[in-house]
Amino acid sequence: MDVLKFEPGNLCMITGGRNLGRCGTVIQREKHPGSFEIVHIKDSTGHVFATRLTNVFIIGKGTKAFISLPKGKGVKLSIAEERDKRLASKAAH
């Protein structure tokens, strides 16, 4: 059994907040004494986002996930990208 440490470069999944369900690689961890610690994460499409440390769960070492990932590998489109995709599918019909 391996121990997955919370360190930059490891694969993680977001378990709460606005980014719920997203997966990515930990880039940086900011410590703020007396407040929330912030973690910066980069997903497989290159988008960088940040969330609280309590919302992050490490699921793999490097880019190898120790669990099966959800559909789309945890990549979540932005609101504008979702809108463009929806409009493109309506225009195709």
pLDDT tens, 40-77?
A: 999 988 999 999 999 999 999 988 889 888 777 778 87
pTM over 0.85: no
**Tokens in use for 5?**
């440490």
Whether 35 shows a pLDDT value over 90: the answer reads: yes
- How far apart CA 76 and CA 59 sit, in angstroms, is 17
| In the chain, where the domains are located | 11-92
What share of the chain has pLDDT > 70, as a percent? 99
- How far apart CA 26 and CA 56 sit, in angstroms, is 9
**Tokens in use for 55?**
């919302």
Specify the CATH architecture of the domain 11-92: Roll (2.30)
- How far apart CA 76 and CA 23 sit, in angstroms, is 9
Whether 15 shows a pLDDT value over 90: the answer reads: yes
